[in-house]
Amino acid sequence: MPEKYRAVPWDILQHLFKTEKINNHVLHFSGTFSPVPDFSRLNHAVQLLADAFPLVRCNLVMSSIHPYWADKGYTAEDILQCIETKEIRKQWQRVMLQEIDPETGPQMKLALLKTEGTALLCGIINHMVCDAAGFKELLYRLCFLYTGLEKGNHIPNPSMIKSRTVGQVFRTFPLKKRIGILRHRGNLNTGGNLSFTLEGDNDSPFIEIRKIPGARFSAIKNYARLQGATVNDVVMTAYIRALSGIFGKMDIIPCALDIRRFLPTGQTAGICNLVTNIPCNTGVCLPGSFKDTLSQVKNCMDGHKNDPCSMKNLILMEYLFTALPCFIAIPVLKKLFHNPPIAFTNIGILDTQKLSLGSSKMTEGFMTGSIKYRNYVQVSLSTFADEAVFCVNQYGTQTDRKTVASLLDAIIAELDGNGIEHSF
């Protein structure tokens, strides 16, 4: 009998995002490495990674009572492929824009694209098994394993599949605080009513990308520091002002929040999803200057990001699926859950020290979220080696692509981003 792992509520919610045509529950990574990594060693490292986190070699079984993951024994050969090509853009798109069927697996797919002395390691993972922070941890472990194999060292490879629930965060608070979180009466709707009118095309996924080079992004970080704000505050300010210019009015924009921040060590017991949304609401009137808008954004974000009450929705969802069988809990969740039509996620920093495959160093790269269906739009941001990468991932027509491209260009214009590069 194959090993089984119970699906946690976040797994099921991500599955609903796909079935309800919100997004395709796939996270994406792309990194350029030089010199070219050794493929056989990388294959070995992938096998070790699957041993540490066997959910990547599982199939989802959507039981009407309690869905679970069944280990199907997929190997590195099922997960990783090596492609030598002169058509790097075409192959990159083929790998990055594919989907993952959770019921047939595997839940992670990687490809080493080799060309002229360098290589692209790109891949996708099912958002059901982890969020972007979890995906980063898996990539860091993969690089650690590869480096150990290259050096011939003994490689510790502890399990990465311990607790995957929100409870591991909730239980760190004293009882009085937990009761306060559950009794919190704040508005749990983190999104507004603005939405783009898109044509949509489920057969035509794309990733629209804008890059801010290191020198320019360093200037943005310095500006944020001088204003006593975070880079996230500055980017949210640019996003809100860009949307205001497009729609002619303001609205609530949700921003993803990693609740690992509430763990004493910031580390989870296992790879999982631990993200909620917090609302950025600056009111209906847009101030005249970027600095004034930034002040409002900072005040709003400061009030939410350190408040553990932001995890209430996740706790209630966990209680719902603990108390009720899946066939009852899912219809209840559909009625209660509101997915914001416009959103933002800051995936954060990709660690340059942890993303080296032995002597092969990652020179540039990014991570981005799932691909959205009509009429949902999410802007993502990730940084590597001081370069910032914005993405919007969409199933849509060329007209839709122009629409989201205009949004990204408007954000960049607000940041005064000269020298922006287009890629792939």
Per-residue pLDDT tens over the stretch 85-131: 989 999 999 999 999 999 998 999 999 999 887 899 999 999 999 99
CA atoms of 379 and 403, how far apart (whole Å): 13
Q: What is the mean pLDDT of the chain?
A: 92
User: What is the structure's pLDDT at 30?
Assistant: 98
Q: List pLDDT tens digits, range 42-58.
A: 999 999 999 999 999 99
First to last CA, the chain: 44
* DSSP structure class, residue 106: -
pTM of the model: 0.95
Q: What is the DSSP letter of 301?
A: H
pLDDT over 70 percentage in the chain: 96
Confidence of residue 26 (pLDDT cuts 50, 70, 90): very high
Distances (CA, A) of 272 to 177, 211, 301: 24, 29, 25
Range of lowest pLDDT (19-23, 181-185, 416-420): 416-420
**What domains appear along the chain, each with residue ranges and CATH number?**
4-151 (3.30.559.10), 167-414 (3.30.559.30)
Instruction: Give residue 132's pLDDT band: very low, low, confident or very high (50, 70, 90).
Output: very high
CA 94 to chain centre: 20
Averaged over 285-289, what is the pLDDT?
A: 74
For range 397-404, the mean pLDDT: 98
188 pLDDT exceeds 70?
Answer: no
- pLDDT for residue 211 is more than 80: yes
- The rounded percent of the chain whose pLDDT value lies above 90 is 82
Please tell me the distance from the alpha carbon of residue 193 to that of residue 197, in angstroms, as a whole number. 12
